[in-house]
Amino acid sequence: MRRRTLLASVLAAAGAAGLAACGADDTSGASGASDGAASDGGASGGGVLDTVTVKGAFGAEPTVTFDAPLSFSAPEAKIITPGDGEAIAEGDALGMHTAYIDATSGEVLQSSWQGAPAEFLAVSVESNGQEAVSFLTTATVGSRIAMLGQVTDSQGKSYQVVQVSDIVSKALPRATGTPQPTPADQPQFTLAENGAPQLSGTPTTPAPSTTVATVTIQGEGEQTAEGDTLAMHYTGWKLSDGSQFDSSWDRGEPFSFTLGQNQVIQGWDVPLTGKTVGSQVLLVIPPAEAYGEAGQSQSELAGETLIFVADILGAVKAPAA
């Protein structure tokens, strides 16, 4: 699935997803603080976060102060405010609002509270390292956390940053809700035990002129809306021969993007608006609403009508003004 690169992260050891969602074609023993300042424990860098003050209620834009430039030689991570929500385990995907502050200048580089997208962070050793997993699994949904690390923007410029994130939700592992019948004239598929879809032979569905979206599991969560950051599991096939070309299930982590921001193909951006979290949607997308006749960045999909089975696992809405 194509997604435009905004700012890419190298903050793996600190557990940060990045200054914004990365392109996809592509610490231990933390404790809370009672006064809104960074607390003791849970650090690998010698307690530099003790000099950082974070104020503000969970869900509201944090006020982060420190004497700049803030110097550190290793990532750190701490829980600022413990949450009272679900426990976090390896393999989860966390919906977060995040502010990134330049450690050198003290200026905000990017913030969900100032119009930047929310993000989903995979609690995964492969993506974010063992230190991040060890730290994040000490937190719970509803926690505010702070981290120190380094990020690199899309032009290759690196920044040392203070990251403050509110963990607002945890994505579902698969679509869950009420199964709906798949029309006989649409591609048929089965689900593995873990929920991963498998196409049932070479499809005979005629190529549509516009995207056909069929809800095959009706979820019971909130409705998606433009500006929401979604976490998705999906598999995609070519209608022409039924061959698979992409799958987040195979990668072992959900895919995330911000709905209605032209970060994905049109056949995703529009039909997934107004669906409920927990739903599974079968999409049959013509070339004009996929990668076009020329293929754009996906030359192997030039002129192809595409089939997707997409699970809507979570949605993070923009913070309230």
Q: Which residues have a catalytic role annotated?
A: 234, 245-246, 265, 291, 308
pLDDT attached to residue 1: 54
Average pLDDT score, the chain:
86
How many CB atoms sit inside 10 A of residue 267's CB?
24
Which residues of the chain does CATH 3.10.50.40 include? 7-170, 177-316
pLDDT over threshold 90, residue 18: no
Average pLDDT of the residues in 261-271: 94
d(CA 271, CA 1): 15
Share of the chain above pLDDT 90, in %: 75
Class in CATH terms, 7-170 = alpha beta
**Using an 8 Å Cβ cutoff, are 14 and 133 in contact?**
no
pLDDT attached to residue 22: 28
CB neighbour list of residue 50: distance below 8 Å, 6 or more residues apart: 37, 38, 40
Stretch (H or E) spanning 268: helix 266-269
Stretch (H or E) spanning 258: strand 255-258
CATH architecture of 177-316: Roll (3.10)
pLDDT attached to residue 21: 27
pLDDT over threshold 70, residue 128: yes
Residue with the bigger pLDDT between 247 and 155: it is 247
**Using an 8 Å Cβ cutoff, are 307 and 198 in contact?**
no
pLDDT over threshold 80, residue 183: yes
Average pLDDT of the residues in 48-62: 95
Average pLDDT of the residues in 49-67: 96
pLDDT attached to residue 297: 64
pLDDT over threshold 50, residue 75: yes
d(CA 59, CA 41): 23
Residue that has been written with the tokens 């004009």 in this structure: 288
Write down the pTM of the prediction.
0.85
pLDDT attached to residue 155: 82
**Banded model confidence at residue 41, pLDDT cuts 50, 70, 90:** very low
Stretch (H or E) spanning 101: strand 93-102
DSSP 168-184: EEE--SS--EEE-PPPT
Average pLDDT of the residues in 170-184: 97
pLDDT attached to residue 61: 96
d(CA 241, CA 254): 26
Residue with the bigger pLDDT between 266 and 43: it is 266
Find the range with the poorest average confidence among 99-103, 181-185, 293-297: 293-297
pLDDT over threshold 60, residue 11: no
pLDDT over threshold 60, residue 92: yes
Average pLDDT of the residues in 231-236: 98
CB neighbour list of residue 1: distance below 8 Å, 6 or more residues apart: 24, 25, 234, 236, 246, 248, 255, 257, 264, 265, 268
pLDDT attached to residue 85: 97
User: What stretches of 113-209 show up as alpha helix (H) in DSSP?
Assistant: 125-136
Average pLDDT of the residues in 200-220: 97
pLDDT over threshold 70, residue 69: yes
**Banded model confidence at residue 303, pLDDT cuts 50, 70, 90:** very high
pLDDT over threshold 70, residue 251: yes
Average pLDDT of the residues in 118-125: 94
pLDDT attached to residue 8: 31
pLDDT over threshold 60, residue 42: no
